[in-house]
Structure 1
């Protein structure tokens, strides 16, 4: 499901790139690689930024596959952090510890998100700026 959302976001971003930019670069004699690096990639950078933030949050929320397939597996090779929080809460009835782990997860996601938002001024292109 998440992959389809990424595809739809990228397709919508590609549709928003004005055709006259490509026409002007064709007149100037730009190659396909120059079109990609100088027009397509900068114009898609807000979409890349949006998808990066969403996928960062979704990656920390990954739970279903590890729980359904192995439930952490023997000797815990597939024990993800969210599965560890779940096991502490509902298997071992340690709600307080599980709540503290969940807050740590929120703080970790916030730190990564702040880092991405601070770095966006260096690599995300907005037309109105």
Structure 2
């Protein structure tokens, strides 16, 4: 697009310095489903809490930190767990962008792409299976840490 107006742009995917950033921007661009979940969480917060807080003299910032965030914390926790799992399983974007090779100078060589290359490129299924089990253990550990920490910051309206 820049070349149409006479500006020489950089190769976002072909440059090792910007290839990973391009993949990150692509992941940020696909953040639609968690936003819909956040919207559903915001819509389930009763308006009577905000009315009572405004009658008591609470401002918008106070209402956000005292009402919205505590009541939205289960949704934040749910999205956090799902996005951490999805981040560890990042494969499709790097595979498509790099042609399955890991990009320039292995700058987009994610663990899952390396696992795929090991299993289906080099046909070393045993090593690839061990890598997949390691990935499962790492994802399980991060998920368990999130569940342990959640009892300190997630508020369930019982």
Fold shared per TM-score above 0.5: yes
Farther-moved stretch of structure 1 (70-79 vs 47-56): 70-79
Deviations 1:35-82 (A, max 9, x none): 000000000000000000110111111111111111302331110000
Aligned residue number for residue 41 of structure 2: 13
Gaps of 5+ in 2: 1-28
For 1:38 and 1:59, locate their aligned partners in 2 and report how far apart those are by CA, in whole Å.
30
2:110 alignment partner in structure 1: 80
In structure 1, what is the equivalent of residue 71 of structure 2? 43
Question: What is the root-mean-square deviation of aligned Cα atoms in Å?
Answer: 1.2
Q: In 1, distance between residues paired with 2:150 and 2:104?
A: 41
* TM-score normalized by the length of structure 1: 0.95
Q: Determine whether 1:69 maps to 2:97.
A: yes
- Determine the structure 2 residue equivalent to 1:31: 59
Alignment length, in residue pairs? Answer: 128
Q: TM-score, normalised by structure 2?
A: 0.78
- Alpha-carbon deviation of 1:4? 2.0
Report whether the alignment pairs 1:60 with 2:91. no
* Structure 1 position 2, deviation (Å): 5.3
CA distance in 1, matches of 2:60, 2:67: 10
